[in-house]
Each structure stands twice: as structure tokens, then as C-alpha cells.
Structure 1
Amino acid sequence: MLESLITSKTRLKLILKFFLNPETTAHLRGLATEFGESTNGVRVELNRLTEAGLLESSQKGRSINYRVNKKHTLFPDIQNIVKKYLGIDEIVESIIKELGNVEIALITGDYAQGIDSGLIDLVLVGNIDKAYLQQLVEKAEELIHRKIRTLVIDQEEFAKLRDKFEKEKTLLLWKG
């Protein structure tokens, strides 16, 4: 659906990358390499998004770093659209409501870095009905056409892995 509204594939990739995880920063060459596209094509779209005020740029040495402008009036709306497009909102709502005692829900891996790889890594902390989780995951995968890999841990295990999660980019979905 979003592809029909945003006809530039490069612009769509940039919007997904920056709006999925607003802490993401990136530079032109890194984005071109990640997307497998020319620097010119990426530069044009970065300039358009920056001129629209959706991205901010800052000079760092010889390169320019880009990040989302969280103060833009459309930021929350675009971020919600991105989450709906990726199906994250549906996953969170359906999982949290029925799973038991979910204390924390995180997305790690590619999606936390703003990369739509087709595999969503979901970490759930709490006392969770794993059989029901599997049913929900299967349904969500059909809805969003992406694979979901889950890790269920308790608070004690989470405490041991906290440093790892803090060093990696993670996207906090829920905290009870």
C-alpha cells in the first residue's frame, strides 16, 4: 500500500529506516551501500526529505549525518504509518492483550535498525503463554507477510542480557 503512495523506492526505504527507529543516524555512502543503490539516487531523496523538514543533517568531519526530525509536526503520524505498514502495531496489540504478564516487549535486529529485511526479532520479558504466543505469531505472519522470530525470557534472564540489549539498537514496543 505504501508503495503506491510513495513511488520512489529509495524514499520509502529512507522513511522506513529513519521513522521505524528515530535514534538512527546514517550517512550517504552507508545508506547507498545498505540499499544497494547509487549515491546520487540516495542523495536526491535525502535532500528532498531534509528540505521538507522530515530529516535533519549535521556535518561530522567530511560526511553529513542524517537523522529524523522528531520535532516535525508529522513525525508521530508518519511513524504510526510506518509501524502499521510493517505490521508492528498489530503484533504488539494482539500479543500484549492475550499473552499473560508481559513486562517488556522489544524489537531487535534489522527492524530495530530501520531495515525491512522481512524478519522481525521480537523479545518478550515476563510470564507468557508460549503456546498461545506461537498461535498469535503464525496469524500475525500471515497478516504482515513477514517472519517473526521470538525470544521469551523472564526478568532474571533479561537482567543478565540487559547490557547486550542496551549496546544493540532495540526498539521498545511495550513496558508494563
Structure 2
Amino acid sequence: MFAGCSGVKKLLDYLITSKTRIKLLLKFFLNAEARGYLRSLAEEFGESTNAVRVELNRLTEAGLLEAESEGRTKVYRANRGHALFEDLHNIVKKYIGIDQLIEEVLRKLGNVELALITGDYAKGIDSGIIDLVIVGGVDKGYLQVLVEKAEELIRRKIRILILNRQGFEKLKGKFEEENALVVWNQLK
């Protein structure tokens, strides 16, 4: 197993020398619901459309991405049917450190019914801030200690929103609309 997310990050940086390709893999394989088109991706990544086009073409030719036309626009998304989809999804989670976040924070808190990643990471954007929604009863003091440890491990800021089930039910539609990424589900 790799030595934390920094080990995976270093490994990916050696294996995949194109920063644009890494950004595309993060975008499409962190949350399989993510979709994007050339110009929006170039703007989001702060890259030229040519650089993004080259990588989109490579990933599409490899079968990792699917492209479909919507009018005059070509829209891309992860190919969930590809044999490597789950492996890439897991690698991306390790790259960002979500696997360690789950291990370090959620498993030790006790009564966590549901946990969602929202915001930029749910959209596949590595902004350095992970927005985590936790549904359940937790010890907030202990949570803060665990979050600080997890932040050191994954080298990212974690923002937490704690909700009871009723609060979650009120916001559920918003989370579905945003394609929030479920990372823990113990709802009965």
C-alpha cells in the first residue's frame, strides 16, 4: 500500500506527466456524474483549449471517456463501463486523500449515518478544500481533533457541516442537484 496520499500523488505525477490529464482524471473519475465540454474545462483548469482538447482526445481514444454531442457542443464524461473505471476511481480518491479522510474521521466518530462530499471535490475540482456533510450525532470536540489530523495527512482543508436527519431531509434536494458524492452511508 502507498504511504498516504502524498505517496499516491508523487506516483501519479511520475506516471502521468501531463498536469492537464491529471486534472481531467480528477474531474471525471472522482464523481462519475461529472460532465464537461472543452471550453468550460479549459476555463475551469486555466488551460488552453488546445491542451485540454489533446488530452480529451487521448482519454476518449483510450475508452476512458465517452463523448456525446449536445447540439454543436461535445460533452465528455467518464466511461463507467470501462474495465479500469473502478480502479481509476479508487486511485483518484487516494490521490485526493478521501480514503484516508473516511478512515481517520468517519469510522471513529460513532453515530455517522451518512457522509457526503459537496462543493468543488464533488465536481471533480481539486481546490484544496474538502466540503464534508455529516449526518448523525457526533462529538464535535473529538471531530475537530480528527479533522486536524486528517488535514495533516491529506494536506487539504476540510470544512464540516453536521446535520441531524431532519436537517438533511430539508437539504437533500440541494445535495442531489449538486451531485454530492456519498462516501459513507449507514442510513436505515
Determine if the TM-score, normalized by the shorter chain, exceeds 0.5.
yes
| Equivalent position amino acid for 1:60 in 2 | E
Q: CA deviation at 1:105?
A: 0.2
String of CA shifts for 1:24-74, please: whole Å, max 9, x gaps: 110001101111111111000000000000000001111100000011111
Instruction: Give the % identical residues.
Output: 65
Check the 8 A contact 1:107/1:123 in 2, yes or no.
yes
The alignment yields a C-alpha RMSD, in angstroms, of 0.8
Match of 2:106 in 1: 96
Query: Is it true that 1:85 corresponds to 2:83 in the alignment?
Result: no
TM-score calculated relative to the size of structure 2: 0.92
Check the 8 A contact 2:128/2:157 in 1, yes or no.
yes
Work out the CA distance in 2 between the residues paired with 1:60 and 1:26: 11
Pairing partner for 1:154 from 159, 164, 178: 164
Match of 1:54 in 2: 64
Work out the CA distance in 1 between the residues paired with 2:73 and 2:174: 29
Pairing partner for 2:13 from 3, 12, 28: 3
TM-score calculated relative to the size of structure 1: 0.98
Pairing partner for 2:154 from 115, 124, 144: 144
Work out the CA distance in 1 between the residues paired with 2:174 and 2:65: 29
Match of 1:169 in 2: 179
Check the 8 A contact 1:109/1:169 in 2, yes or no.
no
Check the 8 A contact 2:105/2:150 in 1, yes or no.
no
| Equivalent position amino acid for 1:44 in 2 | V
Check the 8 A contact 2:34/2:77 in 1, yes or no.
yes
Work out the CA distance in 2 between the residues paired with 1:161 and 1:30: 27
Q: Which contiguous aligned blocks of 4+ residues in structure 1 show a shift greater than 3 angstroms?
A: none
String of CA shifts for 1:66-120, please: whole Å, max 9, x gaps: 0000111111111101000100001112222210111000000000000000000
Structure 1's unaligned 5+ residue stretches are: none
